Structure 1
Amino acid sequence: MLTEINFDGIVGPTHNYAGLSLGNLASARNLGKVSAPRAAALQGIAKMRANLGRGLAQGFFLPQRRPDAGWLARLGTTPETASATLRANALSASSMWAANAATVSPAPDTADGRCHLTAANLVTMPHRSHEWQETLAQLRIAFANDAHFAVHAPVPPPFGDEGAANHMRLCARHDAPGVEVFVYGEAGGPFPARQHREASAAVARRHGLDPERTILALQSAEAIAAGAFHNDVVAVANERVLFTHEQAFADREVFYADLRAKLPEVEIVEVPASEVSLADAIRSYLFNAQLVTLPSGEAALVLPGEARETPAVWAWLERHVSGNGPIRHLFVHDLRESMANGGGPACLRLRVVADPAAVDPRFMATPEKLDRIEALVARLWPEHIAVEDLSNPALWADCLSARAALCKELGLEELDRDAF
């Protein structure tokens, strides 16, 4: 049975605030602050546990090996001899944001009737550009069943691809054919456009999508300039509902008309800029909520605490839920550590519509398995990391040892042995 599974990235032990993400306002704002990797991972696990309790299918991806000595070696250096900037890029825990792991097209949409996944190349940002190899390794293990899945290597550079953070799927039901929307940006303004149109088009072709049920939409320059470095900061979709800010798209009326023509039952919930500014939307990560369908069939938002703390945002949400809109429930979670580095609830997860029985069970969450992960994190993850700690070899050793212990706990030792 096809089900939407949310695969969350477990926050790695090197989670820190080195401010590496140009255009990510939260990352820049918290540059140099002391991070709390243990709390960050426990907050993410708590969200996964709550979603399981809501009757949602839940999986996870493991943190990547950090520092990435292999990447530094290809640059002719080592963790000991690298510049502070290169070392910080090699220690980034940004793979925790699994929305950037890949783009996913479920079986009902593809020419061969399999779920297709293309690992994102993330070439725009140095600290993320070396994630794809370990991401691809995990995807190839988790989705190894060739009868159900096709896993693709990244689109080649120079075409930037940031994965599902710039991709939306709308459909009557998860197991029905959908309309896939690829959102790209254009250069200009103070921040780079991370998703290239050429990369989006390439993924659509690879996945065997029907051009008549595929849309390439241009993100607005205003949204990028305001700090919406990915589309999922200003828009999110689930089944027939598109939840979006008024200023998310360059030509929203053309986009909406195209979407309605391809999926007449679509419900577009647009938040006016006059009620919630782009600044408030981005600060609160209103649209980086998880928009999910509960077992009851009702739509719900899984929100960060910052949404409730932003008056204009919370007032709009309460008005919507109390009315006749399609979103019926609000669930709020403390994800402050992820939020402080620029990632909300939706950044932490990759959505895969598939039969859970076809997925390698080592990547599927259960309450018991989350208990084991939580206990290991509480024991081995660093409590705090200051930016100056990133030059400490003892920290590197502890973090590598903690990740190896997690791989062993989950029976995924091959992820610790493989060289990337």
Structure 2
Amino acid sequence: MKSFEVNFDGLVGPTHNYGGLSFGNVASQSNSQQASNPKEAALQGLEKMKALMDMGFVQGVLAPQERPDVAALRSLGFAGTDAQVIERAAKEAMPLLVASCSASSMWVANAATVSPSADTADGRVHFTAANLNCKYHRSIEHPTTSRVLGAMFADQQHFSHHAALPAVAQFGDEGAANHTRFCRDYGEAGVEFFVFGRSAFDSRYPAPQKYPARQTLEASQAVARLHGLSEEGVVFAQQNPAVIDQGVFHNDVIAVGNGELLFHHQDAFLNTEQMLAELHGKLAARGANFQSISVPRDQVTVEDAVRSYLFNSQLLSRADGSMLLIVPQECRANSRVWQYLQGLTAAGGPIREVKVFDLKQSMQNGGGPACLRLRVALNETELAAVNPGVIMTPGLYDTLTAWVNKHYRDALRESDLADPQLLLECRTALDELTQILKLGAVYPFQIN
């Protein structure tokens, strides 16, 4: 039976803004308070989805969150009508209003961790929504994320959904941004690679000193247990604390993997040789020929990697067995990174081609091509069981483009978030979107 890796890209929400909310994310903080362009951001994301679809990849779309999150503001003591809640929050606690308007759910690499049926004990595809409890503006996402994923992957014969882990620091979970799967074929048993920044309970593991380590070992272990993964099918590795302190807030900012290949910076991990040996051995036992490409620090520095998002790229397998690397245009603008990539593709290794995309609106807020997608490996039967409304087609692309042009503003500043009309615009847009994507009632305003 044929199997696919399906990329479900996050649709950028109508309140896309530069709130500078993510401590440890250099791009997010450096562009704080600039005017954003939600319409341009959403259209850039849709163009990337269409391009991958046109190249023959199965592409899906994942709906954004309802923002502003009025319910979250009410839980913090703001009362009255929806308009009064927004007005009072803007007057008394603007940072909370900004947080409640964050469109960071567009980066669906943080939405959940996904294990395909070939790896799990019960032979179903497992989803665990990420609690994202390191940052308030993201910690409020997982209830809606769970409902949206449940509407997309509803067939319980094929799909199993788990609630987010306990929302405490010891179980900080950032989803697929710290999770990669290696395999010979998407339909065969593979090895799932969990990367953590610190241990909550074991002091033997060093921790960063400047920025927070968002993923704990204990959270990764819990997800592996929930998904029914075998010991032979998992590897846990620690991210280098020194690179976290340089702005590498997730593993997908310093490494990307696909199929039998890990593409990573020389300084990405601790105990790198031991980790690579474990991956090689466990994948060999499953018939895979694991390879790694380590980018030397004397060719590309960690600072270069963070500024260009070289590793926050999509590594895609093509029909001829070669791999395609999807990178943001910031990689071409960095001379050292671009020189490295030119040499990489000329070397005749597994990565044969690099394609560049303009994702400036997302990049300025700290997310590149890999942040915008959640990878789900599915066989033909499972793909047929996915809600067809969320699978990209030429018709859906045209419909979503028209929807964005109809509903989105082309400029948004912090002061605009206090406009009660913005909430009405967003709800009108999202109500229409759920009909387009055939999701049913997934947003609080549709349910309550």
TM-score category (smaller protein): over 0.9
Q: Give the corresponding residue for 1:379.
A: 406
In structure 2, the residue matched to 1:412 is: 439
Aligned residues: 420
Q: Which residue of 1 aligns with 2:202?
A: none
Matched residues in 1 for 2:260 and 2:157: separation? 28
Quick check: 2:131–2:139 contact (8 Å CA) kept in 1?
Answer: yes
Q: Which residue of 2 aligns with 1:160?
A: 172
Which range moves more in the overlay, 229-238 or 404-413? 404-413
Mapping of residues 65-80 of structure 1, within 5 Å: 65-77=66-78, 78-80=85-87
Q: One-letter code of the match for 2:188?
A: A
1:126-152 alpha-carbon deviations (Å, 9 max, x no partner): 000000000000111111111211111
Q: Could you report, residue by residue, the CA deviation over 1:234-266 in whole angstroms, capped at 9, with x for unpaired residues?
A: 001000010000011011111111111112311
Q: Is the 8 A contact 1:54 1:294 kept in 2?
A: no
Q: Which moved more, 1:356-365 or 1:12-21?
A: 356-365
CA contact (8 A) 2:151 2:439 kept: no
Instruction: Check the 8 A contact 1:56/1:295 in 2, yes or no.
Output: no
> Please, which of 332, 340, 360 is the counterpart of residue 336 of structure 1?
360
SS in 2 for 1:67: coil
Give 1:229 deviation, angstroms: 0.4
Residue 216 (structure 2) pairs with residue 192 (structure 1): no
* SS of residue in 2 equivalent to 1:288: coil
C-alpha deviation, 1:379, in angstroms: 1.8
**More deviation, 393-402/104-113:** 393-402
Say if 1:124 and 1:160, in contact at 8 Å, map to a contact too. Answer: yes
Q: In terms of mean alpha carbon deviation, does 137-146 or 21-30 score higher?
A: 137-146
Residue type matched to 2:265 in 1?
H
Q: Which runs of 5+ in 1 are unaligned?
A: none
CA distance in 2, matches of 1:53, 1:201: 38
Name the counterpart of 1:229.
249
Equivalent residues of 1:404, 1:413 under 8 A apart: no
Q: Tell me what 2:88 maps to.
A: 81
CA-based RMSD: 1.2
**How do residues 11-410 of structure 1 correspond to structure 2 at under 5 angstroms?**
11-77=12-78, 78-82=85-89, 83-158=93-168, 159-186=171-198, 187-264=207-284, 265-354=289-378, 355-410=382-437
Q: CA deviation at 1:415?
A: 2.3
Question: Separation in 1 of the partners of 2:252 and 2:268?
Answer: 10
Q: Distance in 1 between matches of 2:437 and 2:237?
A: 40
| Higher mean C-alpha deviation, range 14-23 or range 297-306 | 297-306
For residues 45 and 70 of structure 2, the distance between their equivalents in structure 1, rounded to whole angstroms, comes to 26
CA distance in 2, matches of 1:407, 1:103: 23
Counterpart residue type for residue 181 of structure 1: F
Q: Which stretch of structure 1 is more off in the superposition, 237-246 or 147-156?
A: 147-156
SS of the residue aligned with 1:7? strand
Q: CA deviation at 1:406?
A: 2.1
Q: TM-score, normalised by structure 2?
A: 0.92
Instruction: Calculate percent identity across the aligned residue pairs.
Output: 47
Distance 1:128 1:302 in 2: 26
1:317 partner SS: helix
Cα shift at 1:390 = 1.4
CA distance in 2, matches of 1:178, 1:55: 24
SS in 1 for 2:327: strand
CA distance in 2, matches of 1:66, 1:211: 40
Q: Provide structure 2 residue ranges, at least 5 long, that are not aligned to the other structure.
A: 79-84, 199-206
CA distance, structure 2, for counterparts of residue 233 and residue 118 of structure 1: 21
State the shift of 1:402 in Å: 2.2
Within 1, Cα distance between the matches of 2:45 and 2:34?
A: 20
Contact 1:101 1:135 in 2 (8 A): yes
Between stretches 338-347 and 393-402, larger displacement belongs to 393-402
The CA deviation string for residues 372-398 of structure 1, in whole angstroms up to 9 with x for no partner, is: 000110121010001121112222222
1:419 deviates by 4.1
Aligned-partner SS, 1:345 = coil
- Rounded to whole Å, the distance in 2 between the matches of 1:127 and 1:257 is 38
SS at match of 2:311: helix
Deviations 1:213-249 (A, max 9, x none): 2111000011101111000000010000100000110
Q: Which amino acid aligns with 2:70?
A: A
> Distance between the aligned counterparts of 2:341 and 2:95, measured in 1?
41
The residue type paired with residue 292 of structure 2 is: I
Deviation at 1:316, TM superposition (A): 0.7
Return the offset for 1:413: 4.3
Secondary structure of 1:321 counterpart = helix
Q: What corresponds to 2:81 in structure 1? A: none
Note if contact 2:46-2:401 (Cα within 8 Å) is conserved in structure 1: yes
Give the Cα–Cα distance (whole angstroms) in 2 for the partners of residues 389 and 380 of structure 1. 15
CA distances 1:188-232 after superposition (whole Å, capped 9, x unpaired):
311101001111000000101011221110000111011110000
Moved more, 396-405 or 272-281: 396-405
Question: Aligned partner of 1:117: which letter?
Answer: F
Q: Describe the SS at the equivalent of 2:66.
A: coil
The alignment's TM-score, normalised by the length of structure 1, stands at 0.98
